[in-house]
Amino acid sequence: GADTVPQAPEDPLFGLMAAFKNDQDPKKVDLGIGAYRDDNAKPWVLPVVKQADERLRADPELNHEYLPIAGLADFTSASQKLILGKSSPAVQEKRVISLQSVSGTGALHLGAGFLAKFYNPQNAEAKAIYVSSPTWANHNQIFANSKLPVKNYPYFSKQTKGLDFDGMTSTIQSAPEGSVVLLHACAHNPTGVDPTQDQWKKIAEIMKQKKHFPFFDCAYQGFASGSLSRDAWAINYFVEQGFELMIAQSYAKNFGLYGERAGCFHFVGAPSPSAQEEVTRVGSQLAILQRSEISNPPAYGARIASMILNDDQLFAQWEEDLRTMSGRIIEMRKSLQSKLEQRGTPGTWNHITDQIGMFSFTGLNEQQVQKLREKFHVYMTKNGRISMAGLNTNNVDYFAQAVDSVVRE
Ligand code: LMR
């Protein structure tokens, strides 16, 4: 009976969100969840999304019928082009199978379920997924729930507050041949630290030599380099190198469609005469997994994304909106760094502007994070991550002052 069910801990991130909501102090600052906020700390509906939404609602043919199991075809094909490039040989050779998913989490889950069922490396020990340490907390439970053993590769250097490239590559090198490796395509969560293109090439070389299987998580395309295609560079490099791989693509952040759960899962086959036939079979199995878990994906967010992705004028407007978001985040990075440096806050703070994407891994420790919350009503995850988008021209000075105070204690 239910008397044997133990109490599970609250989700750290959603727990933080609730605690922030309950805090009545007017000075409170939310740097927890990775969701974009405008300069007034308010959620921001992208102007292009508003426009697409209005067009959609004005359509007299709009209904609430089921989508196909694999989702909206216009959406999945546009998603392939966005992530693999308009003239991708893999797409032209029909060796990509894509299913619309319940955002990035759903895509990861679909991939995990598929691997659990069908991944059969020669060495049974290789049936495990390596994730970066640290990584997005949900990765661990998504794979563990799918009965896929989770292992770690080092990623972050505490000394440089940058990439621990040697640690990362030596672990990937010594992993059993044919292991699955989860890679963040860009704007690594939680660290904001990405490999350089040369480092990606080296990672690909090792993975090829070890016959590892790449699984890319891409939740921040458009937030890292300022260009959608450059943010997909690593994925495309691996595809060019002939890897068979999987991609989880989220539209939560780059369209601001958080609650609509729009995303896509892609399986890319390696180039070979039988690739098309193989990915068709893969797709047939993915369809069964999808049907048994969600039956068919939610329509609304995908319709909005699809309209924007398939219309040149809306697409250009979207790129503009992305620049608005990433530009404001970069301004906040500069502002925070200079305010800490002006105060002479002990430590170095260049990593705040060196890191990219939605997050900064500040280097603050758990006690400091705790003090920030208790004394200053600042909410951030206990690993020292801040969502840069939670800072704005009204609170960045207050936050710098608070950090200064806890670092000096
Ligand atoms: C985050 O890491 O803050 C976001 O990806 C939100 C989430 O779902 O955890």
Q: Which amino acid, residue 112?
A: A
* Termini Cα distance of the chain: 50
For residue 61, the model assigns a pLDDT of 92
Q: Ligand 1 centre from 33 Cα, in Å?
A: 6
Which residues, other chains included, contact 264 with Cβ-Cβ below 8 Å and sequence gap of 6+? 71, 75, 76, 79, 80, 83, 98, 99, 100, 101, 107, 247, 249, 251
For residue 210, the model assigns a pLDDT of 97
For residue 247, the model assigns a pLDDT of 98
Candidates 10, 13, 257, 361: which one to mutate for ligand 1, based on the most atoms within 8 Å of Cβ? 13
Q: Choose among 336, 338, 332, 378: nearest CA to 357.
A: 332
Alpha-carbon distance of 133 to 151, in angstroms, equals: 9
The CATH 3.90.1150.10 domain(s) of the chain lie at: 11-44+325-408
Q: Would you mind telling me the total number of residues written for the chain in this entry?
A: 409
Q: Which amino acid, residue 152?
A: N
In this structure, which residue's CA is closest to atom 2 in ligand 1?
34
For residue 226, the model assigns a pLDDT of 85
Alpha-carbon distance of 174 to 184, in angstroms, equals: 20
Q: Is 94 helix (H, G, I), strand (E, B) or coil?
A: coil
The CATH 3.40.640.10 domain(s) of the chain lie at: 73-310
Q: Is 30 helix (H, G, I), strand (E, B) or coil?
A: strand
For residue 196, the model assigns a pLDDT of 97
Whether the CB of 137 sits within 6 Å of ligand 1: no
Domain 73-310 listed as CATH 3.40.640.10: yes
Contact 129, 149 (CB under 8 A): yes
Pairing of strands 213-218, 180-184: parallel
Whether the CB of 359 sits within 6 Å of ligand 1: no
DSSP string, 226-277: S-HHHHTHHHHHHHHTT--EEEEEE-TTTTT-GGGTEEEEEEEPPSSTTHHH
ipTM: 0.92
Q: Which of the residues in the chain have pLDDT under 50?
A: none
Q: Which of 44, 136, 318, 349 is catalytic?
A: 136
Q: Ligand 1 centre from 49 Cα, in Å?
A: 21
pLDDT digits (tens, 9 = 90+) for 286-333: 999 999 999 999 999 999 999 999 999 999 999 999 999 999 999 999
Alpha-carbon distance of 187 to 220, in angstroms, equals: 6
Please state, as a whole number, how many other Cβ atoms lie within 10 Å of the Cβ of residue 318.
24
The backbone torsions φ and ψ at residue 284, rounded to the nearest 5 degrees and listed phi first, read -65, -35
Q: Which of 161, 210, 253, 339 is catalytic?
A: 253
The yes-or-no answer on residue 136 being catalytic is: yes
Which atom number of ligand 1 is nearest to the Cα of residue 32?
3
Instruction: Please say whether the dihedral angle defined by the alpha carbons of residues 328, 333, 336 and 342, taken in this order, is positive or negative.
Output: negative
Candidates 30, 102, 138, 386: which one to mutate for ligand 1, based on the most atoms within 8 Å of Cβ? 138
In this structure, which residue's CA is closest to atom 5 in ligand 1?
34
Domain 11-44+325-408 carries which CATH code? 3.90.1150.10
Q: Which of 217, 318, 349, 371 is catalytic?
A: 217
For residue 154, the model assigns a pLDDT of 98
For residue 376, the model assigns a pLDDT of 98
Whether the CB of 33 sits within 6 Å of ligand 1: yes
For residue 294, the model assigns a pLDDT of 97
Which atom number of ligand 1 is nearest to the Cα of residue 34?
3
Q: Ligand 1 centre from 271 Cα, in Å?
A: 34
Sheet architecture: strand order including 262-268:
96-102, 262-268, 245-250, 213-218, 180-184, 129-133, 150-154
Contact 384, 158 (CB under 8 A): no
pLDDT digits (tens, 9 = 90+) for 49-106: 999 999 999 999 999 999 999 999 999 999 999 999 999 999 999 999 999 999 999 9
Alpha-carbon distance of 379 to 32, in angstroms, equals: 6
Alpha-carbon distance of 53 to 5, in angstroms, equals: 43
Tally the C-alpha atoms within 13 A of residue 89's C-alpha that lie toward its C-beta. Answer: 11
The yes-or-no answer on residue 253 being catalytic is: yes
Q: Ligand 1 centre from 116 Cα, in Å?
A: 24
